[in-house]
Amino acid sequence: MARGADIGTEMPKALREAVQRLMETGGFEGTFTLARTPGGGVDYFLSTKEEGAPELLPLHPVMPNHAGRLLREMTLGGAMRGKVLVITRPCELRGFVEIVKRLQGCLDNLVFLSVVCGGVFPLSMVSAGWDGKRTEEYWAYPDGRPVQGLRPACQGCTEFIPYTADLVVAPSANGHWALTAGSEEGGRLIERAFPSAPAAEMDPKALEAMAVARKAGREEVLSHEADVKGLSDLVKVFGRCIGCHACSKACPICYCTLCTFESSRMEDRMEQSKGQLEVKGGIRAPAGTVLFHIGRMGHMAVSCVACGCCQDVCPVGIPVSLLFKKVGEAVQARFEYVPGRDVKEALPINTFQPMEFKEVGE
């Protein structure tokens, strides 16, 4: 593993200082990170080194938007001009890689700093007012005990180590944190920013403890409402869906400007519903909520990074991300695919082997 630098014990201050140094020495035009909004909230900002930049809060434990989604919008027209340090969580990076594979974004000029991820809190908790003590508790050195109150998706997240980040903030030995390199570029940046800091590495024991806790968390979060077995469970869990499609709007993978499920084809006109009324006796309005969810799974579950953004924005508390995680994991396992693992790996739906899946067609 490439060289890493010890950044001490005082998180998140140490992280802010590390970002500062990287910005000063790394030749960056700007950074894309969470920062304080004028109103006191937290949002993503693209900011330069110049004065007037907002107070940076790198890796503050909320996800007001999926960074992959925002980066897609910013790079759809072409590469970012000038080198930018992008600071995001692993599922955000993975989501962006998936969207780049769909030719909807561009990785050029972006250097990624990510983290051995402790998860984020639900948005509702943030809007209720942020308690500074929570930040302290959050950044306490991970001993495998899950932090209370994280989003369900995070409680059950087993993909908490980034695959393709250049720089990774990670727990190191003796309660210290380290900035480690995930690429050659990352290694060079660390050498320039921390020429004399003591060397440090990820602590495999801390990672192992986290993995054990997350596996247990995964079992737990998937075992309740998301444990859908058959049509009646499905109708029950999606029965309160109001069809607002906020879940797909928040999703990093759903990029279609005109989503199939918002086209006029999906409007159930009375004359078209006659047949359905005949066979079913009654149809729920809004119609097609179950179709929307299963259909969306058919389109994007293979790339679902289980980030939890969809669930975070659902106004009626449907465990959307857990259901997508469950289905996503099943589909991905069949194609031996890990979304966001490698930008060069083809999307399973964009490739094929002539002699495969005999059991489906023949």
Partner 1 sequence: MGEMFQPRIVGFLCNWCSYAGADLAGANRLNVPSSITPIKVMCSSRLDPTLVLTALLRGADGVLVAGCHPGDCHYGEGNYYARRRLYLLKEVLAALGLEEDRLSLEWISASEGKRFADVASDFDRRIRELGPNPIRKRGQT
233 makes contact, choosing from ligand SF4, partner 1, none, with CB < 5 to 8 Å by partner type, with: partner 1
Peptide bond between residue 142 and the one before it cis (omega within 30 degrees of 0) = no
Gyration radius from the chain CA atoms: 22
C-alpha to C-alpha distance for 210 and 286, rounded to whole angstroms: 42
Closer of 16 and 299 to ligand SF4 (Cβ):
299
Question: Minimum CB separation from partner 1 for residue 355, in Å?
Answer: 8
Closer of 223 and 276 to partner 1 (Cβ):
276
The answer to whether the beta carbons of residues 214 and 150 sit under 8 Å apart is no
Tokens 């949002």 map to which residue? 43
234 makes contact, choosing from ligand SF4, partner 1, none, with CB < 5 to 8 Å by partner type, with: partner 1
* 302 binding partner 1? (CB under 8 A): yes
334 makes contact, choosing from ligand SF4, partner 1, none, with CB < 5 to 8 Å by partner type, with: partner 1
306 makes contact, choosing from partner 1, ligand SF4, none, with CB < 5 to 8 Å by partner type, with: ligand SF4
Tokens of 103: 């030719």
Within residues 309-338, the interface with partner 1 by CB under 8 A covers 326-327, 330-331, 334-335
Which amino acid, residue 4? G
β-strand 167-171 against 110-115: which pairing, if any?
parallel
The answer to whether the beta carbons of residues 25 and 192 sit under 8 Å apart is yes
How many CB atoms are closer than 10 A to CB 262? 15
Q: Note the residues at the interface with ligand SF4 (CB under 6 A).
A: 95, 153, 241-248, 250-254, 256, 259-261, 296, 299-300, 304-310, 313-316, 318, 320-321, 324
Neighbouring C-alpha atoms within 13 Å toward the C-beta of 232: 0
C-alpha to C-alpha distance for 83 and 85, rounded to whole angstroms: 7
Question: Minimum CB separation from partner 1 for residue 91, in Å?
Answer: 20
C-alpha to C-alpha distance for 190 and 203, rounded to whole angstroms: 18
Closer of 128 and 258 to partner 1 (Cβ):
258
* 223 binding partner 1? (CB under 8 A): no
* 284 binding partner 1? (CB under 8 A): yes
Give residues in contact with partner 1 (CB under 8 A). Answer: 228-231, 233-235, 239, 260-261, 275-276, 279-284, 287-291, 294-295, 297-299, 301-302, 326-327, 330-331, 334-335, 348-349, 351-352, 354-357, 360-362
